[in-house]
Chains A and B, each alone.
Chain A
């Protein structure tokens, strides 16, 4: 069974720093990987989706990479801002409707 792990569980950084969030998965037979943002008590907002054939995707200050063979993805956030504070979840898709989530990294950006 696919297992998705995100380390660290929580991270605090001062405003302006660049940071990297990590996601690893046990079964490399995935179709895609998606990064989400979740604010406290709220739903999930999709940030980036990387197909299995792609190596990275970029949106504004966010860059997500995928190394399928090693079962790893990273989410790079440049020039972090207090508004980036949230929980970031990654999820891998292994079939038509099998989306496996990690438990997330809770990010705090300190002004």
Chain B
């Protein structure tokens, strides 16, 4: 059974049109992460939540926002997508911020910007 679920699997949006990606988890994990992975590149951390505590990476563009209404769900909002935002967006969870925790990833949402 899938433990970290991302919807939709593929998302197409227009340049400048807001889009929301969703992630849910059945692991009851405290920490949820959003990564951006462009073609043939390493995943790059955008931000993470420890419970409701939001942590933004210093180089994450302001165009990217996130919401976590409860433990199970986390959303990635892209306010005005540009062509450079086309990428795979990966959601991940871990049980805590302890350094020996594994990360569990969803299947990703492939975003295309037209």
Number of A-B contacts (CB under 8 A): 59
Interface residues on B, range: 20 to 34
Binds B, one of A14-22, A59-67, A96-104: A96-104
**B100 adjacent to A51 (CB under 8 Å):** yes
**B108 adjacent to A42 (CB under 8 Å):** yes
A104 to B41, CA, bound (A): 8
Q: Is B75 an interface residue (CB 8 A)?
A: no
Mostly, the A contact residues are strand
Query: For residue B4, which residue of chain A has the nearest CB?
Result: A43
Find chain B residues with CB under 8 A from A89 CB.
42-43
**A97 adjacent to B100 (CB under 8 Å):** no
Interface of B toward A, CB cutoff 8 Å: 4, 6, 31, 33, 40-45, 48, 50, 55, 88, 90, 92, 97-100, 102-108, 110
